[in-house]
Amino acid sequence: MTIKNSSLYCVIILVGTTLVAGCSTKRNTAFTRAYHELTTRYNIYYNADKAYHDMLENQLKNREEDYTTLLPFYPTVAAHNKQLPGGPFDLVVEKTTQAIKEHSISAKPRRDPAQPQTPEFRQWLQQEEFNPFIHKAWLLLGKAHVLNGDYEDALAVFRQIQKLFKQNNNLLTETEIWMLRTYTEMGSDYDAENMLYALQSKTIASHLQELFRETTTARLIHKREYTTAIPWLKKIIEQEKNFTQKKRLQYLLGQIYTLQGDTTMAWQAFEDVKGLSTPAAINRQATLAQEALKEKTTKQVVPNPIETFIVTATPNHPTKEQPVDSTQLSNSVQSQSFQDYHLAYLKRSSFQARITDSISQQPLFPEISTPQPLPTSIVDLPKTREELQKQLEEKAAEALRKKPQTVTNKSREKLLKEREKERKAKLRQREKELRKREREREAAIKQKEKEREQRIRKQQ
């Protein structure tokens, strides 16, 4: 190797070493901020965001719906009672975590005496994260945890976002919307209501209105406030761009109308589901739903093709055999089994929560009332004093027989109240444990930040 080539090689190594050292996250300069923003945006976040949306599309396309209950508002509802963390969005979690670890800039920039100390500059110095793009990685990480069903991990990420990016109001609002969805899916109604109240009391940016509307609608459906949810759901259906999700929500609207007893609107909602481009499974279910609505309202029994064949073969009719149409038989059986289809809604919901007795006892379609016989006390009045005394004694004996049953019912009510108190106590204890765990996590994060700052000071 000649001296000239050797010198060139040393210069290249020196320049490369200088660039690597200059791009370290321990230095906070305009160059390092621009470098890490560019690297975060195109090297890591782009692939993570693409994987996130591809997974959403695949889950929506390959989902097998359970039409015996209300369709879940979100097609990516995680499994309940998970034992291990993780899920289909692990790749997104891995990439966003990598972006935060490698490209987060928490070091304070060196102050330039020549730069004027304006209020905007002082406020900028108060922030704890200086990578201008890293907040998107944080938010995507929290969303991936939600879709994996790891709700506690998601809430930890969202709280960290609230701590690091206090100046970014739109980011905080979007984070709170996702926290509302998280609390709803994990069944923490108290926290969900508080978050919903906080969101309703602030002005939401236009680009977040659709997300807020979707999350609020899912919350209303979860609470079974169907009358309030219907206008929100209609607005979402109008603006939904994904065709499959649009048809799912139209079918869900028909189910809600059915629960409300509005058969006319339910029929029209199921009719809107059907079409040439609609997937065959949901198209068929919409037709069956309309058949069930018709049978419920008209009280008509579907004729059995097998019975029709037997009747036509009797001596009173021509004996020419008439073959049974297998397609007609299949449709008849499906429609017949579909008559009790909507009653299942009153026992289950999209979040598998217990439904109240008052709802489960309400008839889905009111039956036609029939004249009732007059009470015995009006039809057969006692005519003599002895008959009246005998009747009173019989009623007294019957009252004594019913008394133990009344006591049993009161004991049952007392037991239910005690169980409700125990459940609330367990919820309070669980919330205390979560808050304690969150405080410990924050304390650990603060301790790591202090150690990191101490190392930075030693290196300087």
pLDDT tens for each residue of 212-229: 999 999 999 999 999 999
**Rounded average pLDDT over 260-265:** 91
- Within 13 Å, how many C-alpha atoms sit on residue 87's CB side? 24
User: What does the pLDDT read at residue 190?
Assistant: 93
- Give me the phi and psi of 105, to 5 degrees please: -115, 105
pLDDT tens for each residue of 268-299: 999 999 998 988 889 999 999 898 888 766 65
User: What does the pLDDT read at residue 113?
Assistant: 64
Q: For 45-138, where are the E strands, in sequence order?
A: none
Q: What is the CA radius of gyration of the chain?
A: 33
User: What does the pLDDT read at residue 268?
Assistant: 94
How many degrees, rounded to 5, is the angle at CA 412 between CA 410 and CA 415?
Answer: 110
pLDDT at residue 172 is higher than 80 = yes
User: What does the pLDDT read at residue 52?
Assistant: 95
pLDDT tens for each residue of 60-112: 888 888 888 899 999 886 666 677 788 899 999 999 999 888 888 866 666 66
CA-to-CA separations, 145 to 97, 306, 410, in angstroms, rounded: 11, 54, 45
The answer to whether the beta carbons of residues 153 and 437 sit under 8 Å apart is no
Q: How confident is the model at residue 331 (pLDDT cuts 50, 70, 90)?
A: very low
Cβ atoms within 10 Å, residue 453? 13
Length in residues, the chain = 460
pLDDT tens for each residue of 225-249: 999 999 999 999 999 999 999 999 9
From CA 180, how far away is CA 162, in angstroms rounded? 14
| pTM (global) more than 0.75 | no
Q: How confident is the model at residue 25 (pLDDT cuts 50, 70, 90)?
A: low
The answer to whether the beta carbons of residues 88 and 195 sit under 8 Å apart is no
3-class state of residue 330 by DSSP: helix
Closest to 258 (Cα-Cα) out of 385, 403, 70: 70
**DSSP category for residue 323:** -
User: What does the pLDDT read at residue 336?
Assistant: 38
User: Chain centroid to CA 219: how far?
Assistant: 8
* Residue predicted with more confidence, 316 or 431: 431
Cβ contacts of 286 within 8 Å, gap of 6 or more: 251, 254, 270, 271, 273, 274, 278
* Residue predicted with more confidence, 24 or 195: 195
From CA 128, how far away is CA 163, in angstroms rounded? 9
